[in-house]
Amino acid sequence: MKKTIMLLLVFILFAVWVTPVSAAKQQISLKTAFVRNNDLWVKIDKKEAQVTHGEYVRNPRWSYDGNWIAYTKGAEQTEVWLYHVVTGSLRLAGPGNNAQWAPARNELAFQTGETLNLIRAGDPDKLEANRVAERVGNYSWLPDGSGFLFSTLSMLSGGRWSDIELYTVKFEKGSNKPTTRLFYRIPSQSEQFFAVMTSPFKWSPDGKWIAFLAKPTASLSADGNTLCFLASNARSFVKAGQMLDQFDWFQWAPAGGLFAYIEGTGREAVRNKRLTVVEGLPSLRQTSYTPAGFADRGFTWQNDRTVVVARAKEAEWSVEERKRPMPKLMRIDLASGQEKPITSPPARQGDFDPLFAEDGSKLTWVRTNRKTADAMAAEPDGKHAKRWIRQLTPATNDYERWNWSEVIDYAESDR
Question: What domains appear along the chain, each with residue ranges and CATH number?
Answer: 252-415 (2.140.10.30)
- pLDDT tens for 134-162 read 999 999 999 999 999 999 999 998 888 99
What was the pLDDT predicted at 81? 97
Q: What is the DSSP string of 282-344?
A: TT-EEEE-PPTTEEEEEEEEEETTEEEEEEEE-----SSGGGSPPPEEEEEETTT--EEE---
Burial of 46 (0-12, 13-18, 19+ CB in 10 A): exposed
CA separation for the pair 106, 228 (Å, rounded): 30
Closest CA to 247 of 229, 227, 269: 227
What per-residue confidence (pLDDT) applies to 173? 75
Q: What is the pLDDT of residue 12?
A: 42
pLDDT at 93: 95
pLDDT in tens, the chain (415 residues): 444 444 444 444 444 444 444 444 455 678 999 999 999 999 998 899 999 999 999 999 999 999 999 999 999 889 999 999 999 999 999 999 999 999 999 999 999 999 999 998 877 777 889 999 999 999 999 999 999 999 999 999 888 899 999 999 998 776 678 999 999 999 888 878 899 999 999 999 999 999 999 999 989 999 999 999 999 999 999 999 999 999 999 999 999 899 999 999 999 999 999 999 999 999 999 999 999 999 999 999 999 999 999 999 999 999 999 999 999 999 999 999 999 999 999 999 999 999 998 677 899 999 999 999 999 999 999 999 999 999 999 999 999 999 999 999 999 644 3
Strand partners, 168: 149, 181
Q: In Å, what is the CA distance from 22 to each residue of 18, 27, 404?
A: 6, 9, 31
Q: In the prediction, which pLDDT does 27 show?
A: 59
**pLDDT at residue 76 in the model:** 87
Average pLDDT in the chain: 91
Summarised one tens digit per residue, pLDDT across range 43-102 is 998 899 999 999 999 999 999 999 999 999 999 889 999 999 999 999 999 999 999 999
Q: How far apart are CA 401 and CA 271, in angstroms?
A: 11
Name the pTM for this structure.
0.91
